[in-house]
């Protein structure tokens, strides 16, 4: 069930009405049933797998702390982690590793009939597997006690606003809120509704229309001008942000209406002045997960410089592989690891910038440079193969021109005809609206303007109905 579909809105209204009619104990049972019903829309087999993983890891969690202290505790813990992650590895990576094995053997002149299963990947399996793993790691290390109430643990794993694209919530934060009595709060309903509207605006008014341009350019990259390829790269950066953060806004807004506060996942990442800051603002729940459960256990920065750089590269390569079974994702992750290593080598300490016009220009340059580096990496991320990514980079360098013909042809990939100009200008206008909103939030919204929130969100809602591309693409991160 897509968040932007009318059926989801009807589903949410139904859930909210009955959710607040029930007492607390029944409320939690009802929410768990809603979670299962929501996920059932993606397939009964996937739902059974989700419930099975939930039940098995709940049982593991009751003993993992005791087993971790045993003589062979490390091996037992590793076995539990392997069992937990095996469905993700099987469904998402079996075909990829089979194909790579075949390719490797071919280099040495060996042939082997390698099986490919062409399995459909369960929706959200990367996200809920990481949620479960974080819980098992935290219980195993003694950071949090094991939850003995299966219902509350199951709510955490199957929570429907976050099951498809996150954020990767920590169990300690979620279960703590589930232990409290949840009552209807008009402020939560108001603030949650505003976030949902903002998420709809990002997805339907900006991300999905930009997807038309990006898809058309990437599908015919060899015949596109360098300017078109550059615009497509920039537009994809904006599309991906609006698509993913739009989902997060909707998920956070829905959670607020249900009485849950969720982890922040985006903090205006394209205002970052360096790549390290970018990862402190982009997909925060994933970056902190990777830091806590991969980077720090590898040794973090409490080791030699070379080992530290290895830890960074390993962490971000794994991050790329987490996104998908394709070399483009792996290279994308390695690129960000390389960017961070270079940043650490030449800028080991972030010096505080002082106020002043010259410093403001430096900040603007840093932001633009970081955005350019991130966008370059997004080209690899978006391309269906590494050779296609190289083709796009080559086209940008060799065919870039600001001639009249290039400028006049830059808008055509929206629809392929002269009506593209209106689509182009409309997209540009709403990108400016989003930029103005982001700048305002970055510097702080004056308190006197907050009383006009209702007017601003009414405008955004009107834009959704008038310009939203309903029935467009699914959320990009739903495939991960």
Annotation says 343 is catalytic:
no
- Please give the Cα distance from 82 to 135 (Å, whole number): 15
- Please give the Cα distance from 480 to 477 (Å, whole number): 5
Which residue in 272, 283, 270 sits closest to 319, CA to CA? 283
Cβ contact 228:216 at 8 Å:
no
Query: What number of helices (H) and strands (E) belong to the chain?
Result: 20, 0
Cβ contact 196:249 at 8 Å:
yes
Q: Which residues, including other chains, have CB under 8 Å from residue 53's CB and lie 6 or more apart?
A: 84, 87, 128, 129, 132, 157
- Please give the Cα distance from 165 to 476 (Å, whole number): 9
Catalytic residue (one of 283, 323, 336, 423): 323
- Please give the Cα distance from 475 to 227 (Å, whole number): 27
- Please give the Cα distance from 55 to 285 (Å, whole number): 24
> Within a 10 A sphere around the Cβ of 231, how many other Cβ atoms?
20
Cβ contact 284:266 at 8 Å:
yes
- Please give the Cα distance from 336 to 316 (Å, whole number): 7
Q: How far is CA 7 from the centre of its chain?
A: 23
Cβ contact 47:36 at 8 Å:
yes
Torsion of CA 215, 218, 219, 221, to 10 degrees: 150
Q: Which residues, including other chains, have CB under 8 Å from residue 57's CB and lie 6 or more apart?
A: 84, 132, 135, 136, 157
- Please give the Cα distance from 207 to 238 (Å, whole number): 7
Instruction: Supply the residues annotated as catalytic.
Output: 323
């Amino acid at each position: 069930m897509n968040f932007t579909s009318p059926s989801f809105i009807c589903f949410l209204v139904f859930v909210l009405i009955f959710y607040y009619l029930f007492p607390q104990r029944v409320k939690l049972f009802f929410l768990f049933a809603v979670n299962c019903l929501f996920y059932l829309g993606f397939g009964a087999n996937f739902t059974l797998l989700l419930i099975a993983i939930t039940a098995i890891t709940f049982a593991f969690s009751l003993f993992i702390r005791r087993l971790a202290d045993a003589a062979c505790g490390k091996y037992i813990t590793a076995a539990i982690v392997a069992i937990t992650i095996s469905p993700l590895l099987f469904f998402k990576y079996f075909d990829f590793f089979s194909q790579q094995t075949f390719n490797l053997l071919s280099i040495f002149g060996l042939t082997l009939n390698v099986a490919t299963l062409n399995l459909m990947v369960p929706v959200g399996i990367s996200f809920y597997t990481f949620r479960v793993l974080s819980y098992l790691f935290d219980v195993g290390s003694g950071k949090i006690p094991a939850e003995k109430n299966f219902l509350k643990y199951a709510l955490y794993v199957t929570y429907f606003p976050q099951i498809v694209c996150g954020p990767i919530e920590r169990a300690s934060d979620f279960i703590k809120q589930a232990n409290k009595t949840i009552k209807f709060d008009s402020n939560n309903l108001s603030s949650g509704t505003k976030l949902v509207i903002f998420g709809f605006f990002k997805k339907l008014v900006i991300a999905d229309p930009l997807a038309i341009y990006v898809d058309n350019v990437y599908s015919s990259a060899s015949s596109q001008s360098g300017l078109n390829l550059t615009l497509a790269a920039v537009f994809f950066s904006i599309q991906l942000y609006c698509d993913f953060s739009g989902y997060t806004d909707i998920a956070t807004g829905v959670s607020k209406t249900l009485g849950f506060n969720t982890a922040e996942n985006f903090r205006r990442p394209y205002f970052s002045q360096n790549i390290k800051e970018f990862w402190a603002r982009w997909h925060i729940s994933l970056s902190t997960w990777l830091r806590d459960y991969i980077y720090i256990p590898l040794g973090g920065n409490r080791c030699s410089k070379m080992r530290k750089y290895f830890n960074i590269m390993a962490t971000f390569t794994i991050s790329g592989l987490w996104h998908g079974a394709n070399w483009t994702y792996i290279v994308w992750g390695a690129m960000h690891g390389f960017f961070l290593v270079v940043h650490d080598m030449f800028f080991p300490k972030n010096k505080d910038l002082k106020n002043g016009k010259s410093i403001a220009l430096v900040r603007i340059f840093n932001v633009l440079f970081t955005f350019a580096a991130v966008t370059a990496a997004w080209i690899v991320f978006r391309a269906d193969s590494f050779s296609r990514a190289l083709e796009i980079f080559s086209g940008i360098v060799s065919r870039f021109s600001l001639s009249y013909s290039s400028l006049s042809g830059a808008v055509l990939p929206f629809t392929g005809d002269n009506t593209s100009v209106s689509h182009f200008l409309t997209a540009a206008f709403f990108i400016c609206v989003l930029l103005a909103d982001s700048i305002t939030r970055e510097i702080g919204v004056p308190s006197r303007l907050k009383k006009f929130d209702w007017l601003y969100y009414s405008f955004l809602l009107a834009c959704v109905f008038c310009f939203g591309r309903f029935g467009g693409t699914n959320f990009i991160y739903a495939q991960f």
